[in-house]
């Protein structure tokens, strides 16, 4: 019977994820550890960690993108400055909140720092049509400045 329950849990995982979650939580709370679908549970837990990393990367890319627009897309600055500043503030707040809730992500921020900048640089070049020689190839601000609410790059 236990083997059938495990098989049913694996089937449930594929057919009704929400019910699978509720059943898994119930089994763990009731300490029915032998009935838990451990393979899928571990996969889901790993996925949660990766989602946090992806959120940090996405927010950092958007932040870099808007800082680059603010600093280098001068022909559009007067018209778009308020929107860019709002996005910069929002991304900084969200990154800070994410790092406060997940302090172990701080080393990951440093790990993906340059890669996220490069992604943001390419996106900015595509969106603005600016020449590649205008926007620096290397990150032009440091980690302290990126989260400083008062820092805006001025040329």
d(CA 64, CA 59): 9
Helices 2-15/38-72 angle, 10° precision:
30
Contact 9, 15 (CB under 8 A): no
The pTM assigned to this predicted structure is: 0.83
Tokens of 61: 């890319």
Per-residue pLDDT of the chain (155 residues; tens, 9 = 90+): 454 555 587 788 888 889 999 999 999 999 999 888 999 999 999 999 899 999 999 999 999 999 999 999 999 999 999 999 999 999 999 999 999 999 999 999 999 999 999 999 999 999 999 999 999 999 999 988 999 999 999 86
**Predicted local confidence at residue 5, as pLDDT:** 56
Q: Hey, where are the domains in the chain?
A: 1-36, 49-147
What beta strand segments (E) does 67-132 contain?
Answer: none
> Residue 104's closest CA among 47, 49, 145, 48?
49
Convert 124-133 to b/e letters by CB count within 10 Å (16 or more is b). bbeebebeee
Q: What is the reported pLDDT for 15?
A: 87
Q: What is the pLDDT of residue 70?
A: 97
Site of tokens 């390419």 = 122
């Amino acid at each position: 019977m236990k083997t059938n329950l495990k098989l049913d849990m694996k089937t449930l995982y594929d057919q009704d994820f929400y019910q699978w979650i509720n059943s898994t939580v119930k089994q763990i709370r009731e300490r029915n550890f032998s009935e838990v679908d451990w393979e899928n549970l571990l996969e889901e837990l790993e996925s949660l960690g990766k989602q946090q990393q992806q959120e940090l990367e996405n927010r950092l890319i958007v932040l870099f993108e808007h800082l680059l627009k603010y600093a280098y897309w001068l022909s559009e600055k007067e018209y778009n400055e308020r929107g860019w500043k709002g996005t910069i503030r929002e991304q900084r707040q969200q990154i800070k909140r994410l790092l406060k809730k997940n302090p172990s992500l701080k080393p990951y921020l440093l790990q993906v720092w340059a890669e996220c900048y490069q992604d943001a640089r390419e996106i900015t070049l595509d969106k603005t049509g600016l020449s590649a020689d205008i926007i620096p190839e290397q990150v032009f601000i440091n980690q302290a400045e990126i989260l400083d609410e008062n820092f805006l790059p001025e040329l």
